[in-house]
């Protein structure tokens, strides 16, 4: 007979949070037990960050109940949550790099002699807290002199100072190498065994299975389920996180299949990447793209899809490997170099790296084209008007007003304007990173049809999407990534479906 579970240190029930036009959390329940590592999982927009912010007082809740250590709580701010024993260590370490390790560990809890801080005693106290975690770090050393991994461990030591009952680790391993992850996990296990409840947020499945006791999966702001880690297979987890799209895109799929059956020729590929990689970002990978070919990148968030695309597009500089275009080597040092070689990259971060909200539709479409010409060769007004009108019509941008501010358009129409921007440069290779995220089903269908049409007309496309059905529907070949490495390449034929790709994503080293 299994042992009864202890009372939760945190229990959230029926949590609902609504922002203007968006229900970020919809009747979500979550519990966290003392002495466990509990993974919170889901893709972008699933509601993970919103749930954490609801717990720690960043966001108020519209409905539901939060119980901490047996008491009903609605924290007014993160400081109130910390006073109740809930500490958070974020991916971007929230410490003062200009202070010493000891000053950071003891910040707000310095040892005082009357009104003055006793720095010698404060650093001795910091050393004791660091020793509790078996960390051999000089508390007087500048925090800035240490690696990100050590800084995160210092942030965890600070949580011990405030006697945290709950420790939230939000993507703590995203910037760490394997040895640093192992050291972090040693500390996490030590805290777990001392009774601390640890909420672990990560997109690295291998790490989730290595460190967590239970997991909760969210999707689209709703609870999918709570599971014991040992009882849920990787493929079941991936299916729970991603779900299955039920929409029918039969016409698009048939068109894409017809494109895939074309002969792309036997000459050199349009783009060949060999051993392309960037330290701390993506392991070296090989990739070939031929004219008119659609290649999909598939994997969970954090798998390295975007990182690989950014290297091909020159948005990031590679530390390893080479790129050839039409058989000739190219130093891909910037997006402008890529643009001069007819490679266009549409970012996944539409708001921050894509649109310029205070510019018009016309001005947003013109940006890349003008960048390629240079600041001293403005596009003639009549020529630009014709280009803008062409793509507003071709992409069915609504409203069809070139002078409308792009920030006032829907997400789907903003995405179409971004596509128009890059199509106006007449690229030979178009890299699309999550082009259908956050847009309605009609706009999704239009964009997917556009991708198939562009390929039919000879344009090469890299297509990245969290929705595996989209990737399978459109791609001729699929590069599968996991934990920042290419783990498989699948030739898409009638036997391939999203389940095949799920298996490749979820496969362990022994199964590969």
CATH number at residue 219: 3.40.50.300
pTM for this structure? Answer: 0.60
- The CA distance from 366 to 422, in Å, is 9
- The CA distance from 179 to 11, in Å, is 34
Q: What is the pLDDT of residue 509?
A: 44
Q: What is the pLDDT of residue 505?
A: 86
> Is residue 311 located within the same domain as residue 189?
no
134: left (phi over 0), alpha (psi -120 to 50) or beta: left
159, 89 Cβ separation under 8 angstroms: yes
> Is residue 222 located within the same domain as residue 254?
no
CB atoms within 10 A of CB 293: 24
Report CA 204 to chain centroid distance, whole Å: 11
Location of structure tokens 């939760």? 8
> Is residue 373 located within the same domain as residue 255?
no
Q: What is the pLDDT of residue 474?
A: 86
> Is residue 275 located within the same domain as residue 219?
no
User: Domain of 362?
Assistant: 350-426
Q: Does 405 map to a domain?
A: yes
> Is residue 461 located within the same domain as residue 451?
yes
> Is residue 365 located within the same domain as residue 508?
no
Residue after which a domain boundary falls, among 426, 447, 482: 426
Residue after which a domain boundary falls, among 242, 263, 295: 242
> Is residue 217 located within the same domain as residue 291?
no
Four-point Cα dihedral 418, 419, 421, 427, nearest 10: 140
Residue after which a domain boundary falls, among 216, 242, 268: 242
- The CA distance from 139 to 137, in Å, is 6
> Is residue 316 located within the same domain as residue 402?
no
Q: What is the pLDDT of residue 261?
A: 55
> Is residue 440 located within the same domain as residue 298?
yes
Q: What is the pLDDT of residue 440?
A: 52
> Is residue 335 located within the same domain as residue 195?
no
pLDDT in tens, 315-336: 999 999 999 999 999 999 998 8
Four-point Cα dihedral 250, 252, 253, 257, nearest 10: 140
Residue among 360, 381, 367 nearest 425 (CA): 367
Q: What residue ranges of the chain have pLDDT lower than 70?
A: 1-3, 20-22, 44-45, 91-93, 174-175, 177, 243-267, 350, 411, 438-444, 508-512
Residue among 255, 198, 206, 197 nearest 229 (CA): 206
Q: Does 123 map to a domain?
A: yes
Q: Does 5 map to a domain?
A: no
> Is residue 212 located within the same domain as residue 83?
yes
Q: Does 3 map to a domain?
A: no
Q: At what angle do helices 250-260 and 441-456 cross, to 10 degrees?
A: 20
Counting the structural domains of the chain, the total is 3
Q: Does 118 map to a domain?
A: yes
Q: Beta-strand (E) ranges in 73-219?
A: 86-89, 112-113, 116-117, 166-170, 197-201, 214-219
Q: What is the pLDDT of residue 511?
A: 40
Q: What is the pLDDT of residue 478?
A: 93
């Amino acid at each position: 007979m299994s042992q009864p579970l202890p009372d939760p240190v945190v229990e959230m029930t029926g949590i609902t949070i609504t922002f203007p036009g968006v229900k970020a959390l919809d009747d979500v329940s979550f519990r966290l037990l003392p002495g466990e590592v509990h993974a919170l999982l889901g893709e972008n927009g699933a509601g993970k960050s919103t749930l954490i912010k609801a717990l720690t007082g960043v966001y108020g809740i519209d409905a539901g109940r939060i119980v901490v250590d047996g008491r009903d709580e609605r924290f007014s701010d993160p400081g109130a949550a910390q006073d109740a024993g809930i500490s958070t260590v974020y991916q971007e370490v929230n410490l003062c790099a200009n202070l010493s390790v000891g000053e950071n560990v003891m910040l707000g809890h310095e040892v005082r002699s009357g009104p003055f801080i006793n720095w010698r005693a404060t650093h001795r106290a910091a050393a004791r807290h660091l020793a509790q975690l078996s960390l051999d770090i000089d508390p007087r050393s500048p925090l800035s002199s240490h690696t990100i991994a050590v800084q995160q461990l210092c942030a965890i030591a600070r949580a011990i100072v405030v006697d945290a009952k709950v420790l939230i680790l939000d993507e703590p391993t995203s910037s760490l190498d394997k040895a640093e992850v192992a050291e972090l996990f040693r500390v996490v296990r030590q805290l777990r065994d001392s009774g601390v409840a640890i909420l672990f947020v990560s997109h690295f499945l291998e790490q989730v299975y290595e460190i967590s006791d239970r997991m909760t999966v969210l999707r689209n702001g709703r609870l999918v389920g709570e599971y014991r880690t040992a009882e849920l297979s990787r493929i079941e987890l991936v299916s729970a996180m991603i779900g299955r799209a039920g929409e029918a895109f039969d016409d698009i799929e048939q068109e894409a299949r017809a494109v895939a059956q074309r002969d792309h020729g036997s000459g050199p590929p349009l783009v060949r990447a060999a051993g392309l990689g960037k330290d701390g970002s993506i392991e070296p990978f090989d990739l070939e793209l031929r004219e008119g070919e659609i290649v999909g990148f598939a994997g969970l968030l954090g798998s390295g899809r975007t990182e690989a695309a950014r290297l091909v597009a020159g948005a990031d500089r590679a530390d390893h490997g080479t790129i050839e275009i039409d058989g000739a080597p190219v130093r891909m040092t910037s997006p402008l170099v890529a643009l001069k070689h007819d490679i266009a990259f549409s970012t996944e971060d539409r708001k921050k790296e894509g649109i310029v909200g205070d510019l018009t539709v016309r001005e947003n479409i013109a940006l890349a084209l003008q960048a390629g010409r240079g600041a001293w060769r403005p596009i003639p007004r009549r020529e630009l008007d014709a280009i803008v009108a062409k793509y507003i019509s071709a992409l069915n941008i609504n409203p069809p007003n070139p002078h409308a501010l792009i920030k006032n358009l829907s997400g789907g129409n903003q995405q179409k304007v971004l596509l128009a921007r890059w199509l106006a440069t007449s690229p030979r290779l178009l890299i699309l990173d999550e082009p259908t995220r956050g847009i309605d089903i009609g706009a999704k269908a239009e964009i997917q049809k556009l991708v198939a049409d562009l390929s039919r007309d000879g344009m090469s496309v890299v297509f990245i999407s969290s929705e595996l059905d989209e990737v399978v529907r459109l791609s001729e070949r699929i590069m599968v990534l996991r934990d920042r490495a290419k783990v498989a390449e699948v030739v898409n034929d009638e036997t391939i479906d999203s389940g095949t790709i799920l298996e490749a994503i979820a496969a362990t080293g022994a199964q590969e």
